């Protein structure tokens, strides 16, 4: 399954893995379906590394999951930040994933994806 983010600089097609990270995907698709991400700025940009969006306050500290509270991490050893264009949910610590979206634009992490 895939989702397309429409931005002022072009479209970004995102493939999601419903069978691998079901909670993270359900959360992401739920926010997409309700328009949560509409007109939300890319609030964090680290040149040649990554960009981040999904926070309506623009601070990186706002927003919540579709359930109104954080949800458990879905750590999967087969998912790694080993190339550009990886998309994941961010979190503020163990089992506090909410709704922010991280897109790796160049430099790989070489470690396991925590959420989506």
Q: pLDDT digits over 75-108, tens only?
A: 888 877 777 777 887 777 766 666 667 666 665 5
Q: What is the span of the domain harbouring residue 69?
A: 2-104
- pLDDT tens, position by position, 8-43: 888 888 888 889 889 989 998 998 899 888 888 888
114 falls within a domain: no
The domain total for the chain is 1
The pTM for the full model equals: 0.78
Task: Give CA–CA dist 70/82, Å, rounded.
Answer: 26
Q: Which two tokens stand for residue 110?
A: 């070489």
CA 72 to chain centre: 15
Indicate which CATH number applies to the domain containing 16: 2.40.100.10
112 falls within a domain: no
99 falls within a domain: yes
- Bridge partners (DSSP) listed for residue 52: 44, 102
């Amino acid at each position: 399954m895939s989702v397309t983010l429409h931005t002022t600089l072009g479209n970004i097609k995102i493939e999601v893995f419903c069978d691998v990270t079901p909670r993270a995907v359900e959360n992401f698709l739920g926010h997409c379906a309700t328009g949560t991400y509409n007109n939300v700025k890319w609030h964090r940009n680290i040149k040649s590394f990554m960009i981040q969006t999904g926070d309506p306050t623009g601070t990186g500290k706002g927003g919540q999951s579709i359930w109104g509270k954080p949800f458990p991490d879905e750590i999967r050893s087969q998912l790694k930040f080993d190339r550009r264009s990886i998309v994941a949910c961010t979190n503020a610590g163990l089992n506090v994933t909410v709704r922010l979206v991280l897109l790796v634009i160049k430099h790989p992490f070489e470690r396991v994806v925590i959420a989506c």
